[in-house]
Amino acid sequence: MSLFAKKSIDKIVADAGIGESGMKRTLGSGSLVALGIGAIIGAGLFVRTAAAAAENAGPSVTIGFVLAAIGCALAGLCYAELSSSIPISGSAYTYTYATMGELMAWIIGWDLVLEYAVGAATVGIAWSEYLNNLLVQVFHMNPIPYALCHSPFEHSLPDAAGMVQQGIINLPALGIVSLLSLLLIKGTKESAFVNGVIVVTKVCIVILIIVLGWQFINPYNHIPYIPEPTTYTDHMGINHNYGGIMGILTAAGAVFFAFIGFDAVSTAAQETKNPKKSMPIGILGSLAICTLLYLLFAHVLTGIAPVNFFRTTGKEASVVAAINTFMPGYEWLAKLVTVAILAGFSSVILVMLLGQSRVFYSMSKDGLLPQSFSVLHPKFKTPYKANLVILVLVGLFAAFVPGDVVGNMTSIGTLFAFMLVCAAVIILRKTDPNLPRQFKTPLVPFVPILGIIVCGAMIFGLGVENWLRLIVWLAIGLVIYFSYSGKHSKLRNPSDTIPKTSDFEEQ
């Protein structure tokens, strides 16, 4: 059978509903919106905003957010149509299997590891940085030694004596990833409840920063709003495009990481009570709310502090540092922000780990990954073995890889996935025009094509190093596909699809 054999939508839906022994449907529209906000507002807002301003765009990081939001909105419209038409776990992987065939589905499934697993590691690293800030600023304790909260590929800025510290392992990042993986094994409903509480807390904090910080904006910090094109070299010796159009494009690709959570909503389709109605609300609702908050937050943050502050004093904990330095009398807000940020990062990691395990679950059901990935816990009905494997994978990234590297890898992987989702809408409209669609993407094929162009422009802005990382990652994926997945595919090897009795008993 061809490498591009497609799995029919009828078969996808039928396979998902066998025996009602699958995952529990416990989520409604409100839970999905909260799930999306939980993944969107986190490291992207509190860390990547300041980093993109310092390294790429200065005050015009807000324009980068606008560009990223446009790309997300176009892709979000496509996600909304596909998730309401094919309400099955797997997100872009499942959609690609139905429209472009197995090989492309494998590529996008492997690519989603960059989005969810590596993304969770990125946020875990940011969580570690803010934990130190909590220990020092709130509890007035000594910070965790540099060597135990940074990867072996990182070193500190020289201190007053000229000493430079070297990282060894990021233990706090590994710890939070492990804890939340165990929570996910306990159940989706419990995880959604914890996420909902955190979402309300951190949205209130973001609004507080916007409202209270507005009076401290210094107009001179926004001049020039779009800096002249130049190159900025950070303390690690890495060059960044700064200013001009390329600076904005690069910033858009960098802060795009801040938006990736909304598509994680689509991975929970199989656990949603009324997916055809709730999926579009969850995806587009969370995206709309967060875009507004992002633009206002970025404008306030870059207005409070100059760009050089984010390059030196601020670093990873820039939001807290900016409040302490430039908003006198609001030190209490900085402490509150530190606690809220840690909680917010936790919800982001939670949703990303959820998304990754559900993609692995779908790929395993199709035979492209070992069957153990789709085995459900006998009591909790969650793919617990997939969660444990992901715990190890994400934990290794979080413990040993620098945050800026994994952050940009996440962005480029997500942008590539979005481009394929946009293409899937066009293809499915041609190949299955009569498919029931609860929500329809407007102006097809114009909107999907524009989504492909905008996302492609942001990939271009991320630079050659990240293109090469994506190519190497996909090459590794192809080796796995041709050595294992293609030989075990249930679609290409139908004689192997008859399940053993023990498989049902185990699930």
> If you average pLDDT over each of 12-16, 285-289, 436-440, which comes out highest?
285-289
Q: What is the distance between the alpha carbons of residues 478 and 468, in angstroms, rounded to a whole number?
A: 15
pLDDT at 310 over 90: no
Question: Is the separation of the CB atoms in 100 and 6 below 8 Å?
Answer: yes
- Separation of CA 326 from chain center: 31
The pLDDT tens digits for 231-287 are 777 666 667 778 888 888 888 877 776 776 666 676 666 666 776 677 778 878 888
Smallest Cα–Cα separation from 323: which of 54, 50, 43? 50
Q: What is the distance between the alpha carbons of residues 24 and 197, in angstroms, rounded to a whole number?
A: 21
Please give the pLDDT value at position 301.
Answer: 92
Task: Determine which helix (DSSP H) or strand (DSSP E) holds 74, and give its type and residue range.
Answer: helix 61-85
- The percent of residues above 70 in pLDDT, for the chain, comes to 84
Please give the pLDDT value at position 500.
Answer: 42
Least confident of 7-16, 75-84, 97-106: 7-16
Q: What is the distance between the alpha carbons of residues 397 and 47, in angstroms, rounded to a whole number?
A: 18
pLDDT at 449 over 90: yes
Least confident of 150-154, 292-296, 326-330, 421-425: 150-154
pLDDT at 372 over 70: yes
- Would you place residue 407 in the very low, low, confident or very high pLDDT band (cuts 50, 70, 90)? low
> If you average pLDDT over each of 101-115, 184-198, 288-302, 338-352, which comes out highest?
288-302
Smallest Cα–Cα separation from 384: which of 161, 183, 169? 183
Please give the pLDDT value at position 87.
Answer: 64
The model carries a pTM of 0.72
Q: What is the distance between the alpha carbons of residues 95 and 82, in angstroms, rounded to a whole number?
A: 7
A 10 A CB-CB count for 342 gives 19
Whether residue 303 lies inside any domain: the answer is yes
- Would you place residue 348 in the very low, low, confident or very high pLDDT band (cuts 50, 70, 90)? confident
Q: What is the distance between the alpha carbons of residues 174 and 401, in angstroms, rounded to a whole number?
A: 11
- Would you place residue 493 in the very low, low, confident or very high pLDDT band (cuts 50, 70, 90)? confident
Please give the pLDDT value at position 408.
Answer: 67
Q: What is the distance between the alpha carbons of residues 304 and 298, in angstroms, rounded to a whole number?
A: 10
Whether residue 423 lies inside any domain: the answer is yes
Mean pLDDT for all residues in the chain: 80
Tokens in use for 434?
């009569």
Least confident of 78-87, 98-107, 393-402, 480-489: 78-87
Residues whose CB is less than 8 angstroms from the CB of residue 436 and which lie 6 or more positions away in sequence, other chains included: 85
Whether residue 472 lies inside any domain: the answer is yes
Range 469-487 average pLDDT: 90
Range 317-331 average pLDDT: 86
Please give the pLDDT value at position 21.
Answer: 43
Whether residue 410 lies inside any domain: the answer is yes
CATH number for the domain spanning 124: value is 1.20.1740.10
The pLDDT tens digits for 192-209 are 676 677 777 878 888 999
Whether residue 12 lies inside any domain: the answer is no
Angle between helices 331-365 and 188-213 (to 10 degrees): 140
- Indicate the length of the chain as a whole number: 507
Please give the pLDDT value at position 73.
Answer: 85
Q: Give the residues across from 241 on adjacent strands.
A: 231
Residues whose CB is less than 8 angstroms from the CB of residue 16 and which lie 6 or more positions away in sequence, other chains included: 22, 88, 89, 270
Please give the pLDDT value at position 217.
Answer: 94
Question: Three-state DSSP class for 284?
Answer: helix
Tokens in use for 5?
């054999």
- How many distinct structural domains can be found in the chain? 1
Whether residue 307 lies inside any domain: the answer is yes
pLDDT at 176 over 60: yes
Least confident of 110-114, 314-318, 327-331: 314-318
Range 320-333 average pLDDT: 89
Range 459-464 average pLDDT: 82
Q: What is the distance between the alpha carbons of residues 137 and 56, in angstroms, rounded to a whole number?
A: 29
Please give the pLDDT value at position 101.
Answer: 86
Whether residue 7 lies inside any domain: the answer is no
- Would you place residue 499 in the very low, low, confident or very high pLDDT band (cuts 50, 70, 90)? very low
Please give the pLDDT value at position 56.
Answer: 86
The pLDDT tens digits for 55-68 are 888 899 899 888 88
Please give the pLDDT value at position 315.
Answer: 59
- Would you place residue 507 in the very low, low, confident or very high pLDDT band (cuts 50, 70, 90)? very low
Range 420-429 average pLDDT: 89
Q: What is the distance between the alpha carbons of residues 110 and 120, in angstroms, rounded to a whole number?
A: 15
Task: Determine which helix (DSSP H) or strand (DSSP E) holds 51, and give its type and residue range.
Answer: helix 49-52
- Would you place residue 486 in the very low, low, confident or very high pLDDT band (cuts 50, 70, 90)? confident
Please give the pLDDT value at position 202.
Answer: 79
Please give the pLDDT value at position 503.
Answer: 38
Domain that holds residue 419: 27-159+166-506
Range 114-118 average pLDDT: 77
Please give the pLDDT value at position 386.
Answer: 84
Whether residue 9 lies inside any domain: the answer is no
- Would you place residue 446 in the very low, low, confident or very high pLDDT band (cuts 50, 70, 90)? very high
Smallest Cα–Cα separation from 406: which of 62, 113, 147? 113
